[in-house]
Chain A
């Protein structure tokens, strides 16, 4: 008797669990249509210092959109570490959001999956035309010769943030313009007992952004003109070695930073433990950690010699976030309206101010709100000396493979092992072999 009763209880529980599992799941599936015109789901990338801060920034804007159009937007802020996987899973299952943020460097990779709505002339017209956007930002929206897979939302560039007090104490009057100057300044700063420059040695994306710029400064690229990986190009090897040598040989990056991956170097800078930081649009983050705006200065990222510009004088990647629409959204028309709203002049001003980024929309960018000395450096960099990461389908794999190679090299330095041209080349060779066959 007892066994039958137990079996019955088990069976009922299992059936309930089955029903619950079947009920769960994404918001929309199937081919693009306008079946549910009154709702949208939006995956926002984590831009602020925390997910809570992002919700606080975005929710009032989404409410505004609902008031204007009657469309309710369900918001989910996704941490960076999860975002790519979540998008990939949504692509596989077809159960994803209607609108989502993507890191602009992933545009070509995600474009290759065919899951994102292509932004042809007709779609661009719905949001005011392609001409509204800055060229450098459009350069990171998909592979060349194809309709963009996304629309630029926030633009960012790397800059050198420096602590004015530490510089003054070390007798340094202006921020370094070249790497040699930075290394020389580093000696004076270390003499005062402070760390020189922060890095996120275990953060794959950060590693990629920096070695990409160093490669540009050496006149090289990680991919050949026809899109094949070229990681073992001697100039690329030199570039990667120069970056890792900032820790290994020049000792301006503390070995401690080899295991940083959670923005600890930003905290070190905000707390006044370290004199400089290479970061993209860090102002809001620094403020949230209690650092006053006038405590630090912002200068262009150093170059090998001379002044930043194009080619070998490149000193930043074109960083930023794009907004994309899932092709199989049940509310394509609402999704397009939402993209139009988010890229409107008014919203661009509000959102980019909140995130201390630069609007990729020309008219919003010229607004007085983005003319402060801090944003001027970022704007100038984006306009004159930033380059987009390779827009190839294997970009996201490149970020992981080479990002890991640099992480391993930093780990070698931390463990006291020598970093040589050969060891750098070996790591990059291994990374290249892991790339999918083109």
Chain B
């Protein structure tokens, strides 16, 4: 048996070159359903090691799939056809914290929540806060342009990345952007964010830190109908308030979560809203008044304001435990991530309800209502092949329903493998060709995370090799 590991062992400590079958199988998956095929795992610790691995892979004609924590939900970190997985898990140092900018320079393997924890004593935090923030890495956040509840007012990852170091497909190391704003030339830094590992391996990130607000108020509103909750979302935004976060949970999800966290959630309500406002005391008072007024007008049965930091933390624990809590309902779930115009929220939620009935499936909803970012979650048991078929069909119906009202395929998870072949629903062949050309400018030979984001054949005139190259288990 020829060994792929030998040449890499000359670059890295052998303990950081993994080719054991079981481990390769673990690295063949991420947080999605897709099952890939990993040829070798390398765990570099320095930028020079990353560059050497990428260069060697190129010489061997192998593709490289960069990997953060592997919590991604769209198959973006799933290797295909024996590709090399380059994990940045061993690059986990916070290199510098500058409270004056304020910013932090970190390695890509730093976990999202660990960064906020490290700067909390300075009255600072890192704003993007995906539900997976205890486990997901900053590098992965950059790759997917990750969001989170607090991106409603603060913006997604792209607005918080000031600069980066990246290893390109040919091994060249570049520093893009930095703390000095608007360097002349094209915004390469901005383009790399959300590139899903197809543009290079990000080996260092300078992120903007955000000063903690003077005051925060967190409220739970419970509603007798989903429609009323949707109307409240529109009423709050229409009332001139963009809350720091505005999350909705339907009754099925609330019941599952309450059984898990015991936060005295309104399990008899059809839907609840978690609304957080922050700012100066006057701002917070004005915004709380709007939320209470809109709640009363739209039929909220109660507006429960978190009494203290402990209760606020409990509310957020309830929200962020939602996906874990689903385990009580079914062994597997398939999570979608469409965004619809805020004004179409109610009709799309009703359509999703109808899709659940049509396909005889349990669909639960917990999502970023304030920016129209839906997360319908289909609970199922993957051992039941017939049910899996229905889950597949329902997922497609949900995506089509969102796109039909002017929505987009993903709000914060990315396209990866799972949404790849849906891209033509929202983009023309000319649009996709332009995206492919831009990607090719970074990686002309297509070595970095190939076959992700864009459907095969996106490049006009590109030879379509094999439309059946998707791994088994990928749902398209």
A and B pair up: no
